[in-house]
Amino acid sequence: MDVSSTDTNSSLHHRLYGNGMIATDMTYRGSQNQLLERQKVHVQQFLATEDALNKDAEARDLCQKLLKKLHRTGAVVSSNSTGIGGTTQNMGSLRQFELEVWAKEREAAGLRTSLDTLMSEIQRLNQLCAERKEAEESLRKNWKKIQEFDARRSEL
């Protein structure tokens, strides 16, 4: 075997040099893998934040719709109550009118409950968004530290 020629397929070469990679290449690759993992986590958190913001917007829209419906229901109940005499005569019985009022009151109570539920959900989502933003800011600070460290290390 000629010593001056190196056989890159030999097992000795592979054990000594590890597929042609030197230690700094392996360290660099490890740093790259860590950076990619951090970027992946950052993207996942960003997507979760965006999803929470979208859910928050949907909840707000639904809340606005329920508020409008609640106001319309209140207007219908108040318009029915202004013409009590005529309405009860047309309907034929005071009992029927009472049942309709109770039905409207139940519907209004259900809408209020839905509104309260949505408002609490909005608060929960806003809190989640705030937590995600804090985590995102923390990641940005850590990312800057990592970049500064890598820059200093590469200068050496």
Residue 153 above 70 pLDDT?
yes
Full-model pTM: 0.38
Q: Given this model, what pLDDT does residue 46 score?
A: 83
- 120: amino acid identity, one letter: S
121 domain residue, yes or no = yes
Q: Which residue has better confidence, 83 or 152?
A: 152
Q: Looking at the domain assignment, is residue 80 inside a domain?
A: yes
> Whose structure tokens read 């054990």?
15
Q: For the chain, what is the radius of gyration of the CA atoms?
A: 34
Output the pLDDT for position 146.
93
Decide if 7 is inside a domain. Answer: no
Strands (E) located in the chain: none
Question: Is residue 69, in this structure, part of any structural domain at all?
Answer: yes
* Counted domains in the chain: 1
**Domain membership flag for residue 63:** yes
Q: Would you say residue 39 lies in a domain?
A: no
Contacts 24+ apart (CB under 8 A), 38-47: 38/139, 38/142, 38/143, 38/146, 41/139, 42/136, 42/139, 42/143, 45/132, 45/135, 45/136, 45/139, 46/136
84 occurs within a structural domain: yes
* pLDDT tens by residue, 74-131: 555 455 544 554 544 554 577 777 788 888 888 888 888 988 998 999 999 999 999 9
Pick from 143, 125, 118: nearest CA to 48: 125
Residue 110 lies in a domain: yes
Q: How confident is the model at residue 17 (pLDDT cuts 50, 70, 90)?
A: low
Q: Which domain holds residue 107?
A: 46-155
Question: Is pLDDT of 8 > 70?
Answer: no
Whether residue 118 contacts residue 69, with contact meaning beta carbons closer than 8 Å, is answered with no
What are the b/e assignments for 78-101, b being 16+ CB within 10 Å?
A: eeeeeeeeebeeeeeeeeebeeee
